[in-house]
């Protein structure tokens, strides 16, 4: 099975306007997997359009903490999604060990609900989980220590780098906890400006891939000044070349 996917948030405007055509264009680039966002909102189209275009969604993003988790996991299961990843916990929740422990407890509890639907739970970082330090370690790694083994990590290697971490070293430390990585590149601006196709910016993408050889590789742009589909095609080609 291919280990390359694409986060649909990258093409969110196109997907909102014409989801089926957007999926068709991604499949034409060569993607066989996608990572949806907003599982509940998009479940109806994903259920039918993914198989129509020969795509699967092994992972997806959806807010879990404080949400109707049973509904999210039921929709995910119907769409063939294996891992639902909570994509965001506010920056101020990563400064106090007690808040980090509470987030871990909430994710662990969500994983128990998910198991009843045959789905797993994950967490995805931004820059602030890495920039925040607890006794010399990143708050993200403090979280990882408190998560049950059933909860996986999706490491956004761009945001990890922005947060001041050596992303390949972080991946090696986290090891098998890393189920997926976000592959993106750019000038490391906190506002996501200046992002470029993989291999063309300041993130050591080839080293990142080597550090997590078994992880699902999810290509993403938070923002991009050029043609998004062309940029995604360049990233896809780079990953294919590095893997060759």
Q: pLDDT tens-digit profile of 202-233?
A: 999 999 999 999 999 999 999 999 999 999 99
Q: Are 242 and 235 in contact (CB under 8 A)?
A: no
Question: Pairing between strand 83-86 and 120-124?
Answer: parallel
- CATH of 4-243, picked from 3.20.20.150, 3.40.50.720, 3.40.50.170, 3.30.413.10, is 3.20.20.150
Task: State the pLDDT at residue 89.
Answer: 98
Task: State the pLDDT at residue 2.
Answer: 80
How does pLDDT run across 21-79, given as a tens digit for each residue? 999 999 999 999 999 999 999 999 999 999 999 999 999 999 999 999 999 999 999 99
Which H or E element spans position 121?
Answer: strand 120-124
Residue whose C-alpha is closest to residue 167's, from 197, 146, 192, 138: 138
How does pLDDT run across 165-213, given as a tens digit for each residue? 999 999 999 999 999 999 999 999 999 999 999 999 999 999 999 999 9
For 231: left if phi > 0, alpha if psi spans -120 to 50, otherwise beta; the answer is alpha
Q: Flag whether pLDDT at 1 surpasses 80.
A: no
Q: Flag whether pLDDT at 155 surpasses 70.
A: yes
pLDDT band at residue 244 using 50, 70 and 90 as cut-offs: low
HSE-CB for 38 with a 13 A CA cutoff: 9
Rounded CA gap, 239 and 242, in Å? 5
Give residue limits of the domains in the chain. Answer: 4-243
Task: State the pLDDT at residue 243.
Answer: 75
What is the average pLDDT score of the chain? 97
122: tokens are 């994950």
Token pair 């923002």 is at which residue?
A: 223
């Amino acid at each position: 099975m291919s280990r390359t996917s694409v986060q649909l948030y990258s093409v969110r405007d196109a997907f909102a306007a014409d989801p089926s055509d957007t999926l068709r264009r991604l499949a034409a680039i060569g993607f066989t997997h996608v990572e949806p966002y907003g599982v509940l909102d998009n479940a109806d189209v994903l259920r039918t359009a993914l198989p129509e275009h020969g795509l699967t969604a092994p992972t997806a993003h959806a807010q879990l903490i404080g949400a109707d988790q049973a509904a999210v996991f039921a929709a995910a299961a119907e769409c063939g999604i294996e891992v639902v990843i909570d994509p965001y916990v506010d920056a101020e929740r990563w400064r106090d060990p007690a808040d980090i422990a509470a987030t871990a407890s909430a994710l662990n509890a969500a994983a128990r609900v998910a198991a009843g639907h045959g789905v797993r739970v994950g967490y995805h970082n931004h820059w602030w989980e890495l920039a925040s330090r607890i006794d010399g370690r990143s708050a993200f790694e403090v979280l990882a220590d408190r998560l049950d083994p059933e909860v996986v990590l999706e490491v956004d290697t761009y945001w990890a780098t922005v947060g001041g971490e050596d992303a390949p070293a972080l991946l090696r430390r986290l090891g098998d906890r890393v189920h997926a990585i976000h592959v993106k590149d750019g000038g490391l601006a906190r506002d996501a400006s200046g992002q470029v196709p993989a291999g063309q910016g300041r993130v050591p993408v080839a080293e990142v891939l080597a550090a997590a050889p078994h992880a699902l590789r999810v290509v993403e742009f938070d923002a991009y000044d050029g043609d998004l589909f062309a940029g995604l095609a360049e990233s896809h080609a780079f990953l294919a070349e590095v893997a060759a």
